[in-house]
Chain A
Amino acid sequence: MARYAVRQFLLSAAVLLAVSVVGFILLRASGDLAQRIAGSEAMAADVEKIRIAYGLDRPLPIQYLDWALNAVRGDLGRSLFFPENVGTLIARRLPITLGLAALGLGTAILVGIPLGAISALKPNGLFDRLALGGAVLGQAMPPFWLGLLFIIFFGLHLGWLPVSGSDTWRNFVLPTAVLAIATMPTIMRLTRSGMIDALRADYVRTTRAKGLFPFTIVFKHALRNALIPVVAIAAVQLGALIGGSVVLETVFGVQGLGYLAWESINRADYPVVQAIVLVLGGIYCILTFVSDLLHAALDPRMRAQ
């Protein structure tokens, strides 16, 4: 187990290093950054001044090394727009995004696992069909559109909840609901298929033959095995929710990392965007690392691979 953990850790670190390189190249090489900072009406001489002032005239590998060495020491550079340095800026916004993603995923798990487990008890029964139908609908709705519908209905027509901002807990109800609806189908379907397999398995038949209560069979024996892949996918889903926060935070005006990224992109505040790509990549690497370890701890077959 320890060897497995060390190997996975080194792999995650290598992935993060590669992410930082690819992210850096994509942000520097897809266009003229200095021109973007200056704006499209800027004079050529001013663009050159900006290019030299920010060191954008240097060769790309040198720029990367400079940035990466500072990042390793904890210095992510200075924002072109805010007076603070990038690190403080991100530290202030990150908890909001993490909290929102955790709330969304938590709600999805609380609703999705029971729905999936009950569906699996009678595949193709009425409950199963209704739940699957709901899951298919939930997967087909564009989250930003669902967010706007919620704003129109709950915010404007009923006036129950605020439509924008992130100052009180009431601001988080609608975005949490949208995230939960977007994530729940995957969790529900995975629980359901895992349960169907588990309920067919030999060890469950044995427990039936032993005469255990159906309740014990379902919850103690089948569900525990069915949830192993759900644990693995939940961590990945959390990463996806955090990565996808740009769109939803913009819709609801939640002042999290995604909103900061969106504002910074539109202001060509590239040190902030660069740092957010790195932070999101890092969070994803940590989550998959934890998920792999959890998976290996729950299912010894994983460690052998």
Chain B
Amino acid sequence: MASEAETGALPRLDATPGVAPARRTTLRRWLSNSGVSIGGGLFLVILFLTLIGPFLVPHSPFDQSLVSRLRPPVWSGGTAEHPFGTDYLGRDYLARLLWGGRISLLIGFCTIAVAGIFGTTIGVLAGYFGGTLDFAVRFLIMVRLALPAVLIALAVAFIAGPSLKLLIIVLGLLLWDRFAVVARATTMQLRTSEFVIAARATGASNLTILRRDILPNIVNQLIVIATVELANAVLIAAALSFLGLGVQPPMPDWGLMIAEGKQYLLFSPYLITLPGAAMMVLVLSVNLLGDGIRDVTDPEARGR
């Protein structure tokens, strides 16, 4: 630690006027972006509802009650007891929707963790080292894109027996391509930039350069991809559950709830509209947030 005598003579940084306002401007710049404020706000509301919500609803999402089957929601003649109605087994639909959100977010976050780590690693290595490694990674990306993802996921789930863990692994191994493409392209641009050349001239190892100079500079783009893939994972997982090879009953999953409600679509359409609308709001918020982050961090791409 420097003594008080040494630092006392220097102007203290945090006391200089202009620093605190600058930070506030950054915050304002973030919040003044409608994508970040609306999308981020919606996303926070959904996170809050799915984490806290189940404790606010008096019903369990699993408790069946055959005497109160298919009760309509409040806006079409139901009671406040079940504000969003009940499903074909008399389970409270609001409770199931909130729990379904948890499962969707769990799948989404775990999938982008698996896909993001794998895709970013191979993308950065390919972009940084180039040559044969780059060719191999590009080839791998092409093969991944040529594989029909939904079909493969369905077939694997059928043969191995569907489960939540398998769903996350399969989706993670199918959705890494965009991470790899973007990580590779941005790393290639940075490789020849002056600060990387300077770092190399000072004798920094490849690992140090990758960790200190490359990764921090591509993280913004990767976050944007993560939002796209989070939305993608939620949609694909719901489609697989809808087809019966994703999340298994009695778990409340939005895709599965739509499949269960399909039989009753004429007289109880809310069984289908509600979970789909919930999914739409989630995907919408994530997409808006991603667009907003990209606009703020990469002003050149604004509004694309």
Chain A interface (Cβ within 8 Å of chain B)? 11, 14-16, 18-19, 22-23, 26-27, 30-33, 36, 123-124, 136-137, 139-146, 148-149, 151-152, 156, 189, 192-193, 196, 236, 243-244, 246-247, 250, 258, 261-262, 265-266, 268, 273, 276-277, 280-281, 284-285, 288
Contacts and interface: CB of A to CB of B under 8 A. Distances in A.
Given A246-B151, A247-B243, A136 B288 contact: yes
12 contacts: A16-B146, A23-B152, A26-B155, A27-B155, A30-B156, A142-B279, A145-B279, A146-B276, A152-B272, A243-B151, A246-B243, A276-B151
Interface stretch (B106-114, B188-196, B262-270): B262-270
A292 to B, nearest CB: 11
B218 interface: no
Q: How large is the interface on B (under 10, 10 to 19, 20 to 34, 35 or more residues)?
A: 35 or more
Interface of A is mostly: helix
Contacts, number: 143
A106 B272 CA distance: 29
A140 B258 contact: no
Interface in B256-301: 258, 262, 265-266, 269, 272-273, 275-276, 279-281, 283-284, 287-288, 291
Given A18-B139, A31-B160, A189-B304, A142 B238 contact: yes
Contacts of A262: 154, 243
B158 A148 contact: no
Given A31-B161, A124-B303, A246 B150 contact: yes
Contacts of B152: 23, 26, 277
Given A26-B156, A136-B287, A265-B154, A145 B147 contact: no
Given A36-B159, A145-B279, A139 B273 contact: no
A58 B41 CA distance: 56
A156 B154 contact: no
B35 to A, nearest CB: 9
B303 A123 contact: yes
B242 interface: yes
Given A31-B159, A266-B158, 13 more contacts: A15-B143, A23-B147, A26-B156, A27-B155, A144-B239, A145-B238, A145-B279, A148-B265, A149-B272, A196-B304, A247-B243, A277-B155, A284-B145
Nearest to A132: B303
Of all A-B residue pairs in the complex, the 7 with the closest CB atoms, nearest first, are: A145-B276, A31-B159, A243-B148, A140-B284, A140-B283, A193-B304, A31-B160
The interface centre, meaning the residue of B148, B161, B238 with most chain A CB atoms within 10 A of its CB, is B148
Interface string B78-109: 00000000000000000000000000000000
Contacts of B49: none
B160 A30 contact: yes
A19 B272 contact: no
Interface string B121-155: 00000000000000000010011011111111011
Contacts of B243: 246-247, 250, 262
A244 B232 CA distance: 13
Contacts of A280: 148, 151
B159 A33 contact: yes
Nearest to A32: B159
Contact of A36 (B158, B258, B275): B158
Given A15-B143, A36-B158, A266-B158, A243 B280 contact: no
Contacts of B223: none
B247 interface: no
Nearest to A268: B158
A37 to B, nearest CB: 10
B86 to A, nearest CB: 19
B280 A277 contact: no
A244 B150 contact: yes
B209 interface: no
Contact of B280 (A123, A141, A265): A141
A27 B152 CA distance: 8
Contacts of A124: 303
B269 A152 contact: yes
Contacts of B283: 139-142
Contact of B143 (A22, A146, A244, A277): A22
Contacts of B272: 145, 148-149, 152
B169 to A, nearest CB: 10
A141 B282 CA distance: 10
B265 to A, nearest CB: 6
